[in-house]
Amino acid sequence: MIALLRRDLALAIRAGGGFGLGLAFFLILCILVPFGVGPDSGTLAKIAPGILWVGALLACLLSLDRIFQLDFEDGTLDLLATAPLPLEAVATTKALAHWITTGLPLTLAAAPLGQLLNLPAAAMPALVLGLALGTPALSVIGTFGAALTVGLKRGGLLISLLVLPLYMPTLLFGADAARRGAEGLETTTPLLLMTGISAASLALLPFATAAALRMNLR
Amino acid sequence: MIALLRRDLALAIRAGGGFGLGLAFFLILCILVPFGVGPDSGTLAKIAPGILWVGALLACLLSLDRIFQLDFEDGTLDLLATAPLPLEAVATTKALAHWITTGLPLTLAAAPLGQLLNLPAAAMPALVLGLALGTPALSVIGTFGAALTVGLKRGGLLISLLVLPLYMPTLLFGADAARRGAEGLETTTPLLLMTGISAASLALLPFATAAALRMNLR
Amino acid sequence: MEFSAQNLACRRGDAVVLSEVTFAVSQGEALILRGPNGSGKTTLLRCLAGLTPAVSGSLSFSPDDVAYAAHADGLKAQLTVAETLRFWAQVFGTRRIEAALDAFDLRGLMERRTQTLSAGQKRRLSLARLILTGRTLWALDEPTVSLDTSAVAQFAAAVRTHLAGGGAAIIATHIDLGLRDAATLDIGQFRATQSVAHDPFLDEALS
Amino acid sequence: MEFSAQNLACRRGDAVVLSEVTFAVSQGEALILRGPNGSGKTTLLRCLAGLTPAVSGSLSFSPDDVAYAAHADGLKAQLTVAETLRFWAQVFGTRRIEAALDAFDLRGLMERRTQTLSAGQKRRLSLARLILTGRTLWALDEPTVSLDTSAVAQFAAAVRTHLAGGGAAIIATHIDLGLRDAATLDIGQFRATQSVAHDPFLDEALS
Amino acid sequence: MSIWKYANPTQFMRTSAWLLPGLSVLAALCVATGLVWGFFFTPDDFRQGSTVKIIYLHVPSALMAINAWLMMLVASLIWLIRRHHVSALAAKAAAPVGLVMTVIALATGAIWGEPMWGTYWAWDPRLTSFLILFLFYLGYIALWQAIETQDTAADLTSVLCLVGSVFALLSRYAVNFWNQGLHQGTSVPVATGERSVADVFFVPLVFSMVGFGLLFVALVLLRTRTEIRSRRLHALLARERAADTRVAPNTPPSESPTS
Ligand code: HEM
Ligand SMILES: Nc1ncnc2c1ncn2[C@@H]1O[C@H](COP(=O)(O)OP(=O)(O)OP(=O)(O)O)[C@@H](O)[C@H]1O
Ligand SMILES: Nc1ncnc2c1ncn2[C@@H]1O[C@H](COP(=O)(O)OP(=O)(O)OP(=O)(O)O)[C@@H](O)[C@H]1O
Ligand SMILES: [Mg+2]
Ligand SMILES: [Mg+2]
């Protein structure tokens, strides 16, 4: 497992890997929205928490399709499936690698990007904490979606379709926490609920992911 | 050229192709944003033109990386490059196929989705016309970005980084036209400017795209 | 130990391709699978490796005894040769990649990205992986594709070493590998006939 | 007409791999490229097909005379065999795909998605594409990979027909194709030496 | 003797080795004079207080951020047309310097914005187009990093630089259009023209600008030298590898006709 994690991280960091690009996408989205919506800082502040969460979610989404796809296309996945590693471990490792390369940098970048969108300072703690607790769920759920669509050419957009509904609860609680933070309300309840989702996904979804992989390889 | 266009469309429509999925993504984004931003219809109406444009742009973006990638990986691009078709024609055809499978459906879907986001009726003509005139530019520019990154594994996010700054003028004019429409101002100038960008990109960028392809195959 | 299959039926996609496959390979033996294109060699090997479950019939061994090498190389363009081998070594719980490097003469290429290897060099690397697995039964799908004559000889030597160490091998190939006392199995004879392939949707139509 | 190369130097990635390559093939002749793995056969063929421009030297023909077949098959998983051939026929401006179907015995597979073909069937399909191109010089990179004996014979027959019709062929291969009077070119002798490969960044280090 | 002889790496190394020390010293002197003079020996502005002094960092870095892109454009054109390796490497070397200049301009602008406008960031056209420039730099550098084969990387980044320049101009225009259209000008005082800068502020500003210009040239020269050395190393390693494979047991050393 550690070998696999190390390899995935190495691949992400190498030329053409995905590291930092999810982050770049997030950055770009946060720049785009004001262009689309207009520069009025009052409006921006109002929608900032929601946009930041939607942005984090999309940045995750964009990097999902290749979690297994590349390994499938060049035959590595077949080889991994016949290796002594259980597929559940492969699924967990892949999700972890995805989080390290995507969720973690997003969480760290959220604070400065919030500035760009005039996010009220009061909303910051709830936003960052929410991302830290919620992005693991995004990675695990996304890995499941990727396992379902592995082997389909241009699975990328199909994953989005499958995974977005699953992302909904995380998004709702996360954005709600950040909005409440902005309004000075207490944020414990949504954050706790979200932590619950993350923990449950982490514990259970790898089994579903492994099952989906097995069916797809058949 | 017609053969290539027909083949690309056939591939898009077949199982696992991209047709309709860009559209579905657009739909989902328009559903997500109210969840993220909160249901206040005044705010929504204000940001609707911008969000619709940003959504269209992202839906385009998501489908870019495979314009050439699949053909490159299985060796078809090598064969196309040695075929009697000039690579400029290949580039144009690919952009056209991308537009038909992404830009066109987005344009058609924008009106009903605008409803979802409480887009003022007055903004509708400018929005739809803007998309119709602007999405060809998005496809052509995107094809250029795809040609630059063909051959890079996980080029998907790198494309976003390269292409988004290039999308900026189109987005600005497009969203501005829709916003002016909503406020009842005249929209001819931004629409005209956008048409200019589309026409110029269509006329000139295929050459850059073909050049980039040639360099990448080398 | 003997590796054997009894009345195996294998499917590929929606169709049952092979039926009644029966064979046995002992330790120290190699079995060459022969058969025209599309006769089901790949199908059988995937079944032995546990990638597609058998439709019916039984195997005397578990997929965990099998090291499988497919048509595709399964290499990552961005990793170097040494990194690739070290990764697989760790997955299979060993550390020593020297034997694999030597068997396929890869020392000179250790620091090269696999992207920049020629077709035959890639193939040699993916075969070297087999030695790391430490598994007894090698199931190889056309291993010598793109190899030049001297590399084919290296490969044959590696197989012989493996057999001498108590291993076994099932190899699908169209060319002569120079493994003298290997048995040959013609896969053509096992082509599934309609009556054998139980399809619940055809039962009524046939009866 | 004669297809010839004069003192060709070819690069692959950052390195000049071949230099001083000189050969000539007349119409009706085939040239077999031989050489160990990594000696530069693919590099040379890509250069002839115009995919990588030559570093120096000259060719007596244009890339538009060359039909190139690479290591990879270049097939789309979702298209059927007939659709694939019809597409390439249109690209090369013809309509008749019958000759190609017959030469590689593909009639029985016409409506199959290429996804569901075996390795050898895929290869036959990708070779059938050559017949549609109508080009004079075939540049083939290990065309017989995964082919069984009868398919190799079919391929040899197709090459002979092509030669008899005034075509020419340059074929990189490790096995014997049974093309009797084909000339052989050993690519090993053209390996580029550093002094030949002008690298502006080494000028100082060398002088 | 044409100017192109400097495009030969060896010649470039020789000339730049001779130029670099003097240039660096001159750049350091100018920057130091401009900044010290500006920071400590100018009066506070009657409206902006001491915050005005950030102008000595802000304006020169902003100018150099734009000039760096122009230089990359020219260098890219030279590479595409005449294929001089040094010019491709000079473009590659200039990009990070330009990026840093952009970041300095953005950061000083943001720091300045806090006392002046009460916010670190506003979607003012000029700031916005700088943000877009920042993205262009990021994309350009990322593309260089992503492509393994050096000449291909040079080709592709050059094409990107050309196309990107056109779109950067378009963006600049579009951004102006976008914000004017919103009638937001009053709440956002756009950075004023030179006429607002009195002579006392102006002379050290000139020093600082010249200093930043020289600093840019020196940095680009230095980085180009590093890139050349790195390419040289690359080439030497490649040659060593080639020698290695030749003595490998299964490929007997072939008699090369040219050796
Ligand atoms: C992140 C924010 C900012 C960016 C990216 C930025 C960008 C620029 C650029 C590109 C220039 C020089 C180009 C030209 O002269 O046309 C410039 C000059 C200038 N900026 Fe900024 N600026 C920012 C924030 C500010 C702020 C907050 C102020 C203070 C009110 C300011 C005041 C000035 C002044 C006074 C000049 C000199 C104008 C001249 O001499 O021509 N800038 N800025
Ligand atoms: N994914 C698939 N779905 C359905 N049928 C398939 C699939 N893959 C292969 N087949 C069919 O199953 C049969 C057996 O294929 P298989 O790949 O096992 O043949 P093979 O003996 O390995 O041939 P080759 O020598 O060409 O590799 C063939 O007729 C093939 O067309
Ligand atoms: N993309 C690349 N970048 C750098 N070097 C490469 C690249 N591809 C191949 N090479 C190297 O160039 C040399 C020639 O490779 P080439 O693929 O032409 O060999 P080949 O004769 O076709 O070998 P094979 O029989 O294995 O296919 C090899 O040493 C190889 O390692
Ligand atoms: Mg097979
Ligand atoms: Mg080759």
DSSP track, A64-130: TTHHHHHHHHTTHHHHHHTSSS-HHHHHHHHHHHHIIIIIHHHHHHHHHHHHHTT--GGGHHHHHHH
Tell me the sheet residues that pair with C15.
Answer: C12
* Domain hosting residue D118, numbered range: 27-51+63-182
Measured CB to CB, residues of chain E less than 8 Å from chain C are 148, 241, 244-245, 248-250
Q: Nearest CA to CA, how far is B168 from chain D (Å)?
A: 34
CA geometry: angle E59, E64, E68, nearest 5 deg = 160
Distance CA E69, CA E106 (A): 16
Q: How far is CA B131 from the centre of its chain?
A: 9
D39 alpha carbon – ligand 5 mean position (Å): 8
pLDDT of residue E192: 43
Given a cut of 70, the residues of chain E with pLDDT beneath it are 1-7, 44-50, 179-200, 241-259
The tokens of D32 are what?
A: 């077999």
One-letter amino acid at E121 equals W
ipTM greater than cut 0.85 = no
pLDDT of residue B70: 80
Query: So what's the pLDDT on residue D201?
Result: 73
Distance between E19 CA and the closest CA of chain A, angstroms: 34
Lowest-confidence region among A63-72, D83-92, D186-195:
D186-195
A75, C63: Cβ pair inside 8 Å?
no
pLDDT value at residue E245 = 57
| Residue closest to C20 by CA, chosen among C202, C205, C195 | C195
Q: Which residues line ligand 1 (CB under 6 A)?
A: E 55, 58-59, 62-63, 105-106, 109-110, 112-113, 116, 126-127, 130, 191-194, 197
Q: Residue with the nearest Cα to atom 36 of ligand 1? A: E191
C121 Cβ closer than 6 Å to some ligand 2 atom: no
* Residue E228 vs residue A17, higher pLDDT: E228
Within an 8 Å CB–CB cutoff, is residue C119 touching chain D?
yes
CA of D17 to the centre of ligand 3 (A): 8
Per DSSP (E only), the strands in E21-173 are none
What DSSP line would sit under chain E, residue for residue? --GGGGGSHHHHHHHHHHHHHHHHHHHHHHHHHHHHHHHHSSPPBTTTBGGGGGHHHHHHHHHHHHHHHHHHHHHHHHHHHH--HHHHHHHHHHHHHHHHHHHHHHHHHHHHHHHHHSSS----HHHHHHHHHHHHHHHHHHHHHH--SHHHHHHHHHHHHHHHHHHHHHHHHHHHHHHHTTT-GGGS-PPP-GGGS-HHHHHHHHHHHHHHHHHHHHHHHHHHHHHHHHHHHHHHHHHHHHHHHHTSTTSPPP--TT-
Handedness of CA A175, A179, A181, A186 (dihedral sign): negative
- Distance (Å, whole) CA C21 – CA C30: 17
Q: Is D9 helix (H, G, I), strand (E, B) or coil?
A: strand
Per-residue pLDDT at B30: 84
What is residue E255's predicted lDDT score, i.e. its pLDDT? 37
pLDDT digits (tens, 9 = 90+) for D115-151: 888 889 999 999 999 999 889 999 999 998 889 888 9
Does residue A31 belong to the interface with chain E, where contact is any CB pair within 8 Å? yes
E180 to chain B, any CB pair closer than 8 A? The answer is no
Q: Is residue D10 part of a domain?
A: no
Give the model's pLDDT for residue E234: 81
- What's the CA gap between D165 and D184, in Å, rounded? 21
Q: Does B42 touch chain A (CB under 8 A)?
A: no
Residue B6 has pLDDT above 70, yes or no: yes
Residue A13, token pair as written in the block: 């960091």
Checking if the pLDDT of B169 tops 60, the result is yes
List alpha helices for B63-154, DSSP H.
66-73, 76-81, 87-98, 104-116, 124-149
Q: Determine the distance from the C-alpha atom of residue B179 to the mean position of all C-alpha atoms in its chain, rounded to a whole number.
A: 20
pLDDT at B40 over 90: no
> What is the pLDDT at residue B85?
85
Q: What is the pLDDT of residue D156?
A: 92
d(CA C127, CA E237): 27
C154–E241 C-beta distance less than 8 A? no
d(CA B48, CA A1): 46
Q: Which residues in chain A are contacts of E120 at CB distance < 8 A?
A: 115
Query: Ligand 2 within 6 A of D108 CB?
Result: no
Q: Are D31 and D171 in contact (CB under 8 A)?
A: yes
Report if residue D191 sits inside a domain.
no
CA triple D70-D73-D77, angle to 5 deg: 155
Question: CA triplet B151, B26, A141: central angle to 5 degrees?
Answer: 70
Who's near A164: CB < 8 A, 6+ residues apart? A61, B28, B32
Q: Is E147 on the interface with A (CB under 8 A)?
A: yes
CB distance D42–C116 less than 8 Å?
A: no
Structural domains in chain C (count) = 1
Check: CB of residue C172 under 8 Å from CB of residue C140: yes
**D139 Cβ contact partners less than 8 Å away, ≥ 6 residues apart:** D45, D48, D49, D66, D67, D68, D69, D169, D170
- Asked if E8 contacts E23 with a C-beta cutoff of 8 angstroms, the reply is no
The answer to whether the CB of A145 falls within 8 A of the CB of A206 is no
- Report the range of poorest mean pLDDT among A192-201, B209-218, C182-191: C182-191
pTM beyond cutoff 0.95: no
Please state the rounded mean pLDDT for residues A111-118: 83
In chain D, residues with a C-beta closer than 8 Å to the C-beta of B3 are 87, 90-91
pLDDT of residue E45: 63
DSSP state of E120: S
Predicted local confidence at residue E251, as pLDDT:
42
Q: How far does CA D133 lie from the centroid of its chain?
A: 13
pLDDT, mean of residues D76-92? 88
Q: Give counts: helices (H), strands (E), chain A.
A: 10, 0
- Are residues A36 and B53, on separate chains, in Cβ contact within 8 Å? yes
CA dist B206 and C191 (Å) reads 51
Percentage of chain A exceeding pLDDT 90? 21
Higher pLDDT, residue B27 or D32 = D32
Gap from A161 CA to chain B (nearest CA, Å): 7
Asked whether C100 and C88 are in contact (CB, 8 A), the reply is no
Structure tokens at E52: 């005005």
**Per-residue confidence at A21, pLDDT binned at 50, 70, 90?**
low
Q: Are strands C168-172 and C30-34 parallel, antiparallel or unpaired?
A: parallel
| Confidence (pLDDT) at A131 | 92
Which amino acids bring their CB within 6 angstroms of ligand 3? C 115-121, 146; D 12-13, 15, 17, 35, 37-43
Is B194 in a helix, a strand, or coil? helix
Q: Identify which ligand lies nearest to the alpha carbon of C112.
A: 3
Task: Identify the pLDDT of residue D196.
Answer: 46
Answer yes or no: is C117 within a domain. yes
Strand C66-69 relative to strand D66-69, pairing:
unpaired
Helices D81-91 and B2-13: angle between axes, nearest 10 degrees: 150
Domain membership of residue D19 (yes or no) is: no
Average pLDDT, chain C: 86
The predicted pLDDT at position B137 comes to 94
* Strands of D15-26's sheet in order across: D15-26, D2-12, D56-59
> Which of A153-167, B197-211, D193-207 has the largest mean confidence?
B197-211
pLDDT beyond 70 at D207: no
Contacts of A32 in chain B (CB under 8 A): 54, 57, 164, 171
Q: What is the mean pLDDT of residues B2-19?
A: 75
Q: What pLDDT is stored for residue E191 in this prediction?
A: 42
Side-chain-facing half-sphere of E63: CA atoms under 13 Å: 16
Pairwise CB contact (< 8 Å): B79 & D87: no
Chain E contact set for C115 (CB, 8 A): 148
Alpha carbon distance E84, C156 (integer Å):
50
Q: What distance in Å separates residue D157's CA from the closest CA in chain B? A: 23
CA max distance for chain D: 65
What contacts E18, CB < 8 A, 6 or more positions away? Answer: none
Q: How confident is the model at residue A15 (pLDDT cuts 50, 70, 90)?
A: low
Which chain B residue has its CA at the smallest distance from D72's CA? B75
| Contact yes or no for E154/B148 (Cβ under 8 A) | no
> What is the pLDDT averaged over residues B181-204?
88
d(CA A69, CA A87) in angstroms, rounded, equals 15
- We report the CATH number of the domain holding residue D126 as 3.40.50.300
Q: Which residue of E has its CA nearest to C112?
A: E241
Give the pLDDT mean for D104-122: 89
Determine contact: D6 vs chain E, CB below 8 A: no
Contact state of C174 with D146 under an 8 Å Cβ cutoff: yes
User: If you measure CA to CA, which chain D residue comes closest to E256?
Assistant: D189
